[in-house]
Amino acid sequence: MRYSFLFPGQGAQAPGMGKDLFDRSEDVRGLFRLATESCGFDVAALVFDGTEDDLKKTDNTQIAITVTNLAAATVLREFGIESDRLAGFSLGEYAALVEAGVLDLQTVFPVVRLRGQVMEQASRALDTEAGPAGMTAVLGLDYQTVNSVLEQVPDAYPGIHNSPAQTVVSGTAEALTAAEEALKQAGARRVIRLKVSGPFHCPLMSKARDELEKALAGIDFKDPCKPIYSNVTAKAVESGLQLKRFCVEQLVAPVLWVATMDQMVADGVAGFLEVGPGTVLGGLWNAWLKANTGVMLQCTPAGTLEQIEALDTVEKSRSVVSP
């Protein structure tokens, strides 16, 4: 059975992630060596021995999650488990680009390293005495209502549509404080300031977008060999040139994750695998299912060796023909 691979993004990281995959696979160890050569520091030491604070820094997080996502995809392939459709949550889109043959490994690690650096620089330029720019999760309001409220709050924007009942808002510290109060008055069940280092996926990241656009100008994005869904449009993209443009625009446009799930289901996916650390995307999928009760699909975690071995066992049991 082929699965649609979903690659997690920033926020899924944890110290030690991927170590079991690294220990099992020479190809995974090669991924880490290549990432180290590309970035100029020991990526394995960062991922396996770094602290939560180390991994939370955007310029570290992006390379750490990308190499771990690709490690999971590598081990899945070693077990004969292949993808048919691809999507990545924010940063996770870069692992999807590799899986789809759009970018090669020699290219992706320097690109995500630079992406993290320009996002971190743009974020720190927005910090004020009130605190750092960042993001707030809003629970219990639909996306349209959140957007309507934010129209009245300068420097606060929709950043991610996580699930039918959860939107993440991006903004300066002052804007987030004002937005949180306005959203609570509009009926939000909870507002939670997130532990992220910037106001991602909104117009406040325009400087980062411009820097990334310059860096990508000379890089060849090949046409994908399988459907890959863009965060910007929630549609499958067939052109490498379009994917390059969407990688740039993704920094200033909201992540349309709910619409992406809607589209992938409409396009006939057989099932999802969460290919990378954590179970964030599985949780978002379960929230999606609550609003779409007629859908009978699973999002299975596949980011650790134990999870992949369990999936392999299920696959082998399916291949057994009953007498």
Residue 161 annotated as catalytic: no
Q: Tell me which of 90, 123, 197, 230 is the catalytic residue.
A: 90
317 is catalytic: no
- Three-class SS string for the chain? CCEEEEECCCCCCCCCCCHHHHHHCHHHHHHHHHHHHHHCCCHHHHHHHCCHHHHHCHHHHHHHHHHHHHHHHHHHHHCCCCEEEEEECHHHHHHHHHHCCCCCHHHHHHHHHHHHHHHHHHHHCCCECCECCEEEEEECCCHHHHHHHHCCCCCEEEEEEEECCEEEEEECHHHHHHHHHHHHHCCCCEEEECCCCCCCCCHHHHHHHHHHHHHHCCCCCCCCCCCEECCCCCCEECCHHHHHHHHHHCCCCCECHHHHHHHHHHCCCCCEEECCCCCHHHHHHHHHHHCCCCCCCCEEECCCHHHHHHHHHHHHHHHCCCC
Catalytic residue among 123, 170, 197, 201: 201
**Residues with active-site annotation:** 90, 201
